[in-house]
Amino acid sequence: MIRPATSQDLASVVEIYNQAIDAGFQTAYTRRFTIQERQAWFQKHLAPAYPIFIYEEDNHVIGWLSISPYREDRPALSHSIEISYYIHTSHQRKGIGTQLLAHAIPACRLLNYKVALAIIIDRNAGSLRLMENFGFARWGYLPGVAQYNGVQCGHVYCGLIL
């Protein structure tokens, strides 16, 4: 089941995000977060304009997707959003990301956003394929901007006109 996040979901969201940090090549963060460190970010996403969608199974959060402002301090970009999603390690490659994106893209349109972006580490082939499956195109590439234990990676900017 997919539903909007509530304040009770923060610990699960942080746990899943920390799994992605530990795995590497899924986010540019390299240090785990505490629940307290993610509190302000999470609170911003409880507002209707920038929701987090929770994928829940048997009353357990096993994935989430956030719709975030893209460079929110620049008003000319206010019609663009960034989509990020993370799936619990024991539930990856089961179509949960697909279901979350299928839910989020129409929600972005209802919120009157015009452009959706996803910024993906170039070694994350699964996420790149998923974006392409939803019509996202590769709009940009920043080679070598990220490093994980001495391994250089790039950022792929994927975009979709909504």
Tell me the C-alpha distance between 131 and 120, whole Å. 10
The CA–CA distances, whole Å, from 5 to 22, 33, 99, 118, 130 equal 23, 18, 16, 20, 23
Within-domain flag for 37: yes
The mean pLDDT value for 75-87 works out to: 96
Please indicate, yes or no, if residue 22 is contained in any of the structural domains. yes
pTM score, whole prediction: 0.94
159 in any annotated domain: no
Cβ(136)–Cβ(116) below 8 Å? yes
- Burial of residue 158 (CB within 10 Å: 0-12, 13-18, 19+) is buried
| The 115-121 sheet, strands edge to edge | 2-4, 52-57, 60-69, 80-87, 115-121, 151-161, 137-148
Residue 146, domain member (yes or no):
no
Q: How far apart are CA 83 and CA 65, in angstroms?
A: 7
158 lies in a domain?
no
The domain in which residue 35 lies consists of: 2-119
Q: Say how far apart CA 97 and CA 93 lie, in whole Å.
A: 8
Is 150 among the domain residues? no
Percent of the chain with pLDDT over 70: 100
Report the SS3 class of residue 129. Answer: helix
Task: Report the share of the chain in percent with pLDDT over 90.
Answer: 93
pLDDT in the model for residue 133: 97
Amino acid identity for residue 69 in this structure: P
Domains of the chain: total: 1
Question: At residue 43, what is the residue type?
Answer: Q
How high is the pLDDT of residue 82?
98
Domain contains 15: yes
Instruction: Give mean pLDDT, residues 70-85.
Output: 95
Which helix (DSSP H) or strand (DSSP E) does residue 85 occupy?
A: strand 80-87
CATH classification of the domain holding 61:
3.40.630.30
Task: Let me know if residue 56 belongs to a domain.
Answer: yes
Average pLDDT over residues 97-126: 97
pLDDT over 90 at 149, yes or no: no
For residue 139, the model assigns a pLDDT of 98
